[in-house]
Amino acid sequence: MIESQTISINLIVTQREGNIVSDMDGEKVMLSISNGKYYNLGDIGGAIWDFIVEPISIYQLVSQLVSEYDVEFKECEQQVIDFLTHLKNEGLIELKSEDGMK
């Protein structure tokens, strides 16, 4: 299992199943069936959530965001990793290395 402290840009990230997601005023709100909690991902977080519907490397994810948003790569990388760390801690995403190890 990959611990949150070791999230790096080369890892592959994807949504975990079992969440009900809805758009509310441009922000994405989610109910986790597994833990019963409600989350607000916000608009940027919602965009990230959409990007990780299929497995994608964090590098590719950040590259996509940098191409669409007015943000520098390193700033985006750090903030995305922080965000993914929170998602990971809540059990909402899966991370694995490029060779498929979870």
From 18, 69, 98, 101, residue interacting with another protein (rule: CB under 8 A): 69
Residue 59 as a binder of another protein (CB under 8 A): the answer is: no
Place of tokens 């790096």: 8
Cα gap 56→28, rounded to integer Å: 20
Asked if 3 contacts 84 with a C-beta cutoff of 8 angstroms, the reply is: no
- For another protein, the binding residue among 9, 59, 90, 96 (CB under 8 A) is 90
Using CB under 8 A as the criterion, which residues of the chain lie in contact with another protein when the complex forms?
A: 29, 37-45, 48, 65, 68-71, 76, 79-80, 83, 86-87, 90
